[in-house]
Amino acid sequence: MRGGGDAGAYCAPARDGTVEPAGSHVLDTQALASVTVGRVAGGENLNRALAGLWQEHPLLTAQQRGAITDLCYGTLRFGLRLQAVLDALLAKKLSDPALRWLLLVTLYQLEHTRAAPYAIVDHAVRCVARLGTPQAGGLVNAVLRNFLRRRAALLAKADQSDVGRFSYPQWWIDKVRAQLPQHYALVLHAGNLHPPYTLRVNARRMQRSDYLALLEREGIVGVPVGVSGVRLARALPVGRLPGFAEGIVSVQDAAAQFAAPLLEVEPGMRVLDACAAPGGKTTHLLELADLDLTALDHDAARLDRVRENLERLKLKARLLVGNAADPASWWDGEPYQRILADVPCSASGVVRRHPDIKWLRRPADIKQFAVQQERLVDGLWKTLASGGKFLYTTCSIFEEENCMQLSRFLARHADARTLTLHGFQSRDGTPDGLLLPDNEHDGFFYALLQKI
Ligand X SMILES: C[S@@+](CC[C@H](N)C(=O)[O-])C[C@H]1O[C@@H](n2cnc3c(N)ncnc32)[C@H](O)[C@@H]1O
Q: Please report, as ranges, the residues that interact with ligand X according to CB under 6 A.
A: 256, 275-281, 296-299, 302, 323-325, 342, 344, 376
- Give me the amino acid identity at 245: A
Q: Which residue's CB is nearer to ligand X, number 151 or number 305?
A: 305
DSSP state string for 325-365:
T-GGGT--SPPEEEEEEE-----GGGTTT-TTHHHH--HHH
Going through 141-276 in order, the beta strands assigned E by DSSP cover 197-201, 222-225, 229-232, 249-251, 270-273
Q: Which residue's CB is nearer to ligand X, number 83 or number 396?
A: 396
Per-position b or e across 22-58, b if 16+ CB within 10 A of its CB: bebbbbbbbbbbbbbbbbbbeebebeebbeebeeebe
Q: Which residue's CB is nearer to ligand X, number 98 or number 277?
A: 277
CB of 344 to ligand X, least distance (A): 4
Q: Which residue's CB is nearer to ligand X, number 205 or number 302?
A: 302
Q: Which residues pair with 393 in a beta bridge?
A: 342, 446
| Distance between CA atoms of residues 296 and 300, nearest Å | 9
Residues with catalytic roles: 395
CB of 435 to ligand X, least distance (A): 15
CB of 386 to ligand X, least distance (A): 24
| Distance between CA atoms of residues 213 and 203, nearest Å | 15
| Distance between CA atoms of residues 81 and 189, nearest Å | 12
CB of 428 to ligand X, least distance (A): 27
CB of 394 to ligand X, least distance (A): 8
Phi, psi angles (nearest 5°) of residue 321: -90, 125
The CA-based dihedral angle spanning residues 312, 318, 324, 328, taken in that order and rounded to the nearest 10 degrees: 170
Q: Which residue's CB is nearer to ligand X, number 151 or number 353?
A: 353
Q: Which residue's CB is nearer to ligand X, number 36 or number 402?
A: 402
| Distance between CA atoms of residues 106 and 62, nearest Å | 21
| Distance between CA atoms of residues 226 and 423, nearest Å | 9
Q: Which residue's CB is nearer to ligand X, number 4 or number 344?
A: 344
Q: What 8-state DSSP symbol labels residue 195? A: P
Q: What 8-state DSSP symbol labels residue 134? A: G
Of the chain, the end-to-end C-alpha distance in Å amounts to: 61
CB of 389 to ligand X, least distance (A): 16
| Distance between CA atoms of residues 298 and 263, nearest Å | 23
CB of 317 to ligand X, least distance (A): 12
